[in-house]
Structure 1
Amino acid sequence: EAARGGARTDDDRGAGGPLRWATAGAGTLALALTWAVAEHASVGIQVPLAMTSAVLHLLAMAVWLGGLTALLTALYRAPEDLPAAAVARFSRLAFAAVAVLVVTGVYQSWRGLGPLDSLTSTPYGRLLTVKVIAVVLMLVAAAFSRRWTARLAAPQGEGTAPAAPERAPVREAVAAGAGRTGGAPRGGGPEDIGGETGADTAPGDRAPETGRTESAPNGPATDAPGAPDAVDDPDALDAADGADDPDDPGVHRRALRRSVQAEITIGIVVLVITTLLTGTQPGRAAAEEAAARTAAEQPLGSTTVIPFDVGTSGGHGTVQIELTPSRVGENQVQAVVYGPDDGIVTVPELRLTFSLDDRDIGPLDAKVRNRGGYWVADALNLPLPGTWTIRATVRTSDIDQATVSKTVRIG
Structure 2
Amino acid sequence: MLAGLLLGLFGPLLAAAPASAHAALVGSDPANGSVVPDAPNRVTLTFSESVQLISDRIQVLAPDGSRADQGEPTVSGSQVTIPLRSGGGRGTYLVSYRVTSADSHPVAGTVTYSVGAASTPPSGAQETDVDVDPVVGALIPIGKYLGYAGLVLLVGPVLVLALLWPHRLDRRGPGRVIWTGIGLVAGSTLLGLWLQAPYTLGTGLFEVTVDDLRDVLGSTFGAVMLVRLGVVVASAFLLRPLLTGPAGGESRLDLALLGVLGVTALATWPLTGHPTASPVPGVSVVIDALHLGAMAVWLGGLVMLFAFLLPRADARELGAILPIWSRWAAAAVGALIFAGVVQALIEVSTLDGLINSTYGRMILAKVGLAAAVLAVAALSRKMVKSRAAAETPGPLRRIVLAELAITAVVLGVTSLLVQEPPPRTAQAVESGPVSTTVDQTLTSEKMSLQVSIFPAQAGNNSIHLYAYTPDSKPLPVVEWKATASLPAKNLEGIEVPLLRITDFHAIGDVNLPYPGDWEFKFTARTTEIDQTTLTMTAKIS
Instruction: Report the TM-score when normalising by structure 2.
Output: 0.39
Whose strand proportion is higher, 1 or 2? 2
Whose helix proportion is higher, 1 or 2? 1
> Which gives a bigger RCO, structure 1 or 2 (Cα 8 Å, sep 6+)?
2
